[in-house]
């Protein structure tokens, strides 16, 4: 059965963020600036119907890189993914990654269909001069329709306010030198996530143990109870 890899994540929040940045010797003014925005059905308050069905719709603007959009199914059942989709890695303007997502003891399958976006498209949708569906390519819309298991009228969704993010790549943590560190800030929310990808479950298990030991040795208390995506979505939809 197809598995492109495993992404291991560790989260810290609040005052632990600055402690972690100092311990990792990361300059708070450095890193790559990003803007991350999510889409949800905001007509039913903080119920988050898409997230509850395991659907995450996201767009990103990254300094010096193309903008992109992602249709992610997480947690994803393998039976949601058709044989045709499992057999494809990329198509006309889209690329698909199927991997396990590990956070503390939680294990889930995630399938992400990603497409690049033309410059200015996200801003046009936010300004109301382009429809929401234009944030997602034809392949992504087909993936959503064939695999999500829930009918979604994209133009009825709300593009929520952006989250400011800073990303550092190839950070050394102990023996690992390919750790990605990303900070999200929004109002009084402050999250730091450390992640690393491995090709196999065996390598992922070893990497997770080693990173856990490193964080413990640096007295960095983790906050892995709730995903940062869910906390941010509840905050943003609640503001409406």
pLDDT tens per residue, range 36-77: 999 999 988 778 999 999 999 999 999 889 999 999 999 999
Do 54 and 143 share a domain, yes or no? yes
Do 64 and 155 share a domain, yes or no? yes
Model confidence at 16, in pLDDT bands (50, 70, 90)?
Answer: confident
The per-residue pLDDT for 28 is: 61
Residue 78 lies in a domain: yes
Residue 114 lies in a domain: yes
Do 63 and 145 share a domain, yes or no? yes
Domain final residue, candidates 159, 180, 212: 159
pLDDT digits (tens, 9 = 90+) for 118-152: 999 999 999 999 999 999 999 999 999 999 999 99
Do 11 and 59 share a domain, yes or no? no
Do 81 and 182 share a domain, yes or no? no
Do 154 and 52 share a domain, yes or no? yes
The per-residue pLDDT for 3 is: 96
Do 153 and 166 share a domain, yes or no? no
Domain final residue, candidates 126, 159, 192: 159
Domain final residue, candidates 100, 128, 159: 159
Residue 40 lies in a domain: no
User: How many domains are there within the chain?
Assistant: 2
Do 151 and 196 share a domain, yes or no? no
| CA torsion angle 195 196 200 206 (round to 10) | -90
The per-residue pLDDT for 64 is: 87
pLDDT greater at residue 41 or residue 224:
41
Do 204 and 223 share a domain, yes or no? yes
Do 149 and 68 share a domain, yes or no? yes
**What SS3 class is residue 128?**
coil
Quote the domain boundaries for residue 22: 5-30+162-239
Do 25 and 124 share a domain, yes or no? no
The per-residue pLDDT for 221 is: 85
Residue 41 lies in a domain: no
- Average pLDDT (17-39) is 89
Q: SS3 breakdown of the chain: % helix, strand, coil, rounded to 5?
A: 30, 35, 30
pLDDT cut 90: percent of the chain above it: 84
Do 146 and 63 share a domain, yes or no? yes
Transcribe 169-232 into DSSP letters. EEEEETTEEEEEEEEEEETTEEEEEEEEEESSHHHHHHHHHHHHHHHHHTT-----SS-HHHHH
Enumerate residues 6+ apart whose C-beta is below 8 A from 38: 56, 57, 58, 160, 229, 232, 233, 236
In contact, 192 and 11? CB cutoff 8 Å: yes
């Amino acid at each position: 059965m197809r598995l492109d890899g495993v992404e291991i994540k560790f989260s810290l929040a609040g005052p632990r963020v600055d402690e972690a940045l100092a311990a990792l010797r990361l300059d708070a003014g450095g890193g790559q600036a990003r803007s991350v925005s999510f889409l949800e059905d905001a007509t039913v308050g903080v119920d988050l119907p898409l997230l509850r069905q395991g659907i995450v719709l996201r767009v990103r603007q990254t300094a010096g890189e193309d903008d992109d959009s992602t249709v992610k199914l997480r947690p994803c059942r393998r039976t949601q993914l058709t044989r045709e989709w499992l057999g494809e890695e990329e198509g006309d303007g889209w690329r698909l990654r199927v991997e396990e997502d590990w956070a503390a003891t939680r294990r889930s399958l995630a399938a992400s269909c990603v497409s690049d976006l033309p410059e200015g498209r996200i801003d046009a949708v936010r300004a109301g001069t382009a429809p929401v569906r234009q944030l997602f390519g034809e392949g992504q819309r087909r993936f959503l329709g064939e695999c999500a298991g829930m009918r979604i009228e994209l133009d009825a969704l709300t593009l929520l306010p952006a989250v400011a993010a800073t990303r550092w790549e190839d950070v050394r943590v102990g023996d690992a030198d390919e750790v990605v560190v990303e900070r999200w800030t929004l109002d009084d929310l402050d999250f730091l996530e450390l992640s690393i990808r491995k090709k196999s479950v065996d390598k992922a298990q070893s990497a997770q143990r080693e990173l856990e030991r490193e964080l413990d040795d640096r007295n960095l208390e983790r906050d892995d109870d709730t995903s940062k995506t869910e906390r941010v979505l509840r905050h943003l939809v609640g503001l409406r």
